[in-house]
Structure 1
Amino acid sequence: MLYGLVSEALGLRSDHLASIECFESLRWVGNYYPPCPQPELALGAGRHIDPYFLTVLVQDNIGALQALHENHWVTVPPLEGALIVNMGVFMQLISNDRFKGVEHRVVATGVGPRLSSAVFFRPSKNYKNKPYGPVKELLSPNNPPLYKETGVLDFLACYAKRGADVNSVLPDFRI
Structure 2
Amino acid sequence: MEVERVQAIASLSLTTDTIPAEFIRPEKEQPAITTFRGPVPEIPTIDLSDPDQENLVRSIVNASKEWGIFQVVNHGVPTDVITKLQAVGKEFFELPPEEKEVYAKIPGSQSIEGYGTQLQKDIDGKKPWVDHLFHKIWPPSTINYRFWPKNPPSYRDANEVYAKYIREVADKLFTSLSLGLGVEGHALKEGAGGEDIVYMLKINYYPPCPRPDLALGVVAHTDFCSLTILVPNEVPGLQVLKDDHWIDAKYIPNALIVHIGDQIEILSNGVYRSVLHRSTVDKGKARMSWPVFLEPPGEFVVGPLPQLVNEENPPKYKAKKFKDYAYCKLNKLPQ
- What do the CA deviations read for 1:19-75 (whole angstroms, capped 9, x no partner)? 334351100001111111111121111111111111011111211100001111010
Q: Which residue of 1 aligns with 2:178?
A: 7
Give the whole-Å Cα distance in 2 for the aligned partners of 1:32 and 1:132.
31
Amino acid of the structure 1 residue aligned with 2:230: L
Unaligned runs of 5+ residues in structure 1 are 164-168
SS of the equivalent of 2:182 reads coil
Mapping of residues 1-175 of structure 1, within 5 Å: 1=171, 2-22=173-193, 24-124=197-297, 128-162=298-332, 169=334, 172=335
Is 73-82 or 11-20 further displaced after alignment? 11-20
Unaligned runs of 5+ residues in structure 2 are 1-170
Give the whole-Å Cα distance in 1 for the aligned partners of 2:274 and 2:191.
20
Amino acid of the structure 1 residue aligned with 2:214: L
Give the whole-Å Cα distance in 1 for the aligned partners of 2:284 and 2:312.
51
Is 45-54 or 129-138 further displaced after alignment? 129-138
Normalized per residue, the structure richer in helix is: 2
Q: When the two structures are superposed, what TM-score results if normalisation uses the length of structure 2? A: 0.46
Give the whole-Å Cα distance in 1 for the aligned partners of 2:260 and 2:189.
16
What's the offset of the Cα at 1:133?
1.0
- What do the CA deviations read for 1:98-134 (whole angstroms, capped 9, x no partner)? 111100000111131111100001113xxx2332211
SS of the equivalent of 2:223 reads coil
Amino acid of the structure 2 residue aligned with 1:18: K
Normalized per residue, the structure richer in strand is: 1
The question of whether the paired residues in 2 share the 8 Å contact of 1:48 and 1:105 is answered with yes
Amino acid of the structure 2 residue aligned with 1:110: K
Aligned residues: 162
The question of whether the paired residues in 2 share the 8 Å contact of 1:62 and 1:111 is answered with no
Give the whole-Å Cα distance in 2 for the aligned partners of 1:67 and 1:19.
28
What's the offset of the Cα at 1:157?
1.3
Amino acid of the structure 1 residue aligned with 2:322: V
Sequence identity, in percent? 33
SS of the equivalent of 2:217 reads strand
Q: Which residue of 1 aligns with 2:59?
A: none
RMSD: 1.6
Q: When the two structures are superposed, what TM-score results if normalisation uses the length of structure 1? A: 0.85
SS of the equivalent of 1:91 reads helix
The question of whether the paired residues in 2 share the 8 Å contact of 1:44 and 1:105 is answered with yes
What's the offset of the Cα at 1:11?
2.1
Q: Which residue of 1 aligns with 2:89?
A: none
1:61/1:14 Cα in 2 relative to 1: closer, same or farther (>3 Å)? same
